[in-house]
């Protein structure tokens, strides 16, 4: 067979897409079957990962950020000069900053002081303003500081996006992530597994998938301890529990050790060629735990962001 370079291959199956603006590029991320880290599973048990780092802002958070902003504009809460403000440890902040730049909406992000320098530089590049909260108090400290700023904001200069309470956050996943997974698996998905931070991904996708079939199992996962190193994730028993979190939607909860998530992120890079952030690693740990209990099934999880976001 004559040699054909990759770039000369017929791309007719997936023609390059055109978008009117950045907003249309969010979602419709690829779903990839994991074949290396799953080698000990029976062939009838499939584990698939949705590569959310393919979103233009580089993470799953583009979805809720778009929905939150569009809903706020539609409700007249944003878009007439108000600054969007929220507490974020990174990815949501990057998504807000990117969309704010695209839609000409000023953005203020309250981030814990130990947010990585790289993330701060990215949001600053998009023109967003950063206010630092205590590095000892994590995302709860950032939430508390936002509330203090809003109490002092008597003129209504801010629109509080409040990703932890905003129903538009899970709604984004009900409207996009869930139908994408349903379609991409040809309606074969049996389990959806994801760790909880704001819990928007698991709540919204879970609700959406249950709408397609009540048989689909929704499994949440959390850091095993309050003191952990899984970026963006919350240990609910010791945290300010997000208002959007409804544990009754979950069929099961798994507890993930930090090192297991970190190790899996590294293993995914080596075994699958997928360089995941450590929350994606934790998701795959949980997905493989679930998969190991099955004789047959289609388990879907999410790679929230890319490892290069953590290589300061």
Which residues are tagged catalytic? Answer: 61, 279
**What does the alpha-carbon distance between residue 296 and residue 45 come to, in Å, rounded to a whole number?**
5
Among 180, 231, 272, 305, the residue binding other proteins under the rule CB under 8 A is: 231
Under rule CB under 8 A, residue 252 binds other proteins: no
**What does the alpha-carbon distance between residue 29 and residue 31 come to, in Å, rounded to a whole number?**
7
Closer CB to other proteins, 64 or 223, in the complex: 223
The CA distances from residue 24 to 18, 29, 52, 119, in Å, are: 9, 12, 15, 23
Under rule CB under 8 A, residue 235 binds other proteins: yes
Q: What is the separation of C-alpha 39 from the centre of its chain, rounded to a whole number of angstroms?
A: 26
Among 44, 153, 225, 247, the residue binding other proteins under the rule CB under 8 A is: 225
Among 58, 64, 100, 138, the residue binding other proteins under the rule CB under 8 A is: 138
Under rule CB under 8 A, residue 262 binds other proteins: yes
Contacts to other proteins from residues 5-34, by CB under 8 A: none
Residues binding other proteins: number (CB under 8 A): 35
Among 227, 255, 293, 308, the residue binding other proteins under the rule CB under 8 A is: 227
Among 148, 153, 251, 259, the residue binding other proteins under the rule CB under 8 A is: 259
Under rule CB under 8 A, residue 247 binds other proteins: no
Query: Among 85, 109, 57, which residue's Cα sits nearest to residue 304?
Result: 57
**What does the alpha-carbon distance between residue 268 and residue 266 come to, in Å, rounded to a whole number?**
5
Phi/psi for 119 (5° steps) reads: -65, -40
Closer CB to other proteins, 137 or 246, in the complex: 137
Query: Among 163, 149, 139, which residue's Cα sits nearest to residue 72?
Result: 163
Question: 């899996």: which residue's tokens?
Answer: 264
The total number of residues written for the chain in this structure: 312
Q: CA torsion, points 148, 152, 158, 161, in degrees to nearest 10?
A: 20
Q: Are 23 and 99 in contact (CB under 8 A)?
A: yes
Under rule CB under 8 A, residue 246 binds other proteins: no
Stretch touching other proteins by CB under 8 A, among 94-102, 137-145, 164-172, 211-219: 137-145
Which string of DSSP letters, residue by residue, matches 177-223? IHHHHHHHTTT---EEEEE-SSSHHHHHHHHHHHHH-TTSEEEEEEE
Interface pattern 63-92 for other proteins (x via CB under 8 A) = --------------------------xx--
Under rule CB under 8 A, residue 217 binds other proteins: no
Smallest distance from other proteins to CB 103, Å: 25
**What does the alpha-carbon distance between residue 146 and residue 213 come to, in Å, rounded to a whole number?**
39
**Which tokens sit at 132?**
């630092």
Stretch touching other proteins by CB under 8 A, among 17-25, 206-214, 258-266, 292-300: 258-266
Under rule CB under 8 A, residue 111 binds other proteins: yes
Interface pattern 159-198 for other proteins (x via CB under 8 A) = --------------------------------------x-
DSSP 128: -
Smallest distance from other proteins to CB 114, Å: 5
| Contact positions vs other proteins (CB under 8 A) | 89-90, 111-116, 135-142, 197, 223, 225-236, 238-239, 258-259, 262
């Amino acid at each position: 067979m004559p040699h054909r370079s990759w770039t000369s291959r017929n791309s007719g199956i997936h023609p390059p897409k055109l978008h009117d603006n950045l907003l249309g590029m969010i979602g419709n991320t690829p779903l990839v079957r994991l074949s290396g880290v799953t080698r000990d599973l029976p062939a009838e048990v499939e584990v698939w990962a949705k590569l959310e780092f393919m979103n233009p802002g580089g993470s799953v958070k583009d979805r809720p950020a778009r929905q939150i902003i569009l809903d706020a504009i539609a409700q007249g809460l944003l878009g007439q000069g108000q600054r969007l403000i929220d507490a974020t440890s990174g990815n949501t902040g990057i998504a807000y900053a990117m969309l704010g730049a695209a839609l000409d909406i000023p953005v203020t992000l309250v981030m814990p002081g130990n947010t990585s320098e790289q993330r701060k530089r990215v949001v600053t590049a998009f023109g967003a303003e950063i206010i630092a909260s205590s590095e000892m108090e994590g995302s709860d400290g950032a939430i508390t500081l936002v509330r203090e700023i809003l109490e002092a904001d008597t003129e209504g200069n801010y629109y509080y996006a409040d990703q932890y309470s905003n129903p538009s956050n899970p709604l984004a996943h009900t409207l996009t992530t869930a139908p994408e997974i349903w379609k991409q698996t040809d309606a074969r998905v049996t389990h959806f597994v994801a760790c909880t931070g704001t819990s928007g991904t698991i709540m919204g996708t879970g609700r959406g998938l249950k709408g397609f079939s009540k048989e689909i199992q929704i499994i949440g996962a959390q850091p095993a301890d309050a003191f952990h190193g899984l970026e963006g994730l919350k240990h609910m028993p010791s945290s300010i529990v997000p208002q959007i979190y409804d544990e009754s939607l979950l069929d099961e909860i798994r507890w993930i050790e930090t090192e297991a998530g970190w190790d899996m992120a590294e293993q995914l890079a080596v075994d699958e060629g997928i360089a995941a952030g450590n929350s994606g690693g934790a998701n795959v740990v949980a997905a493989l735990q679930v998969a190991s209990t099955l004789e047959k099934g289609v388990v879907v999880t999410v790679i929230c962001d890319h490892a290069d976001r953590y290589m300061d």
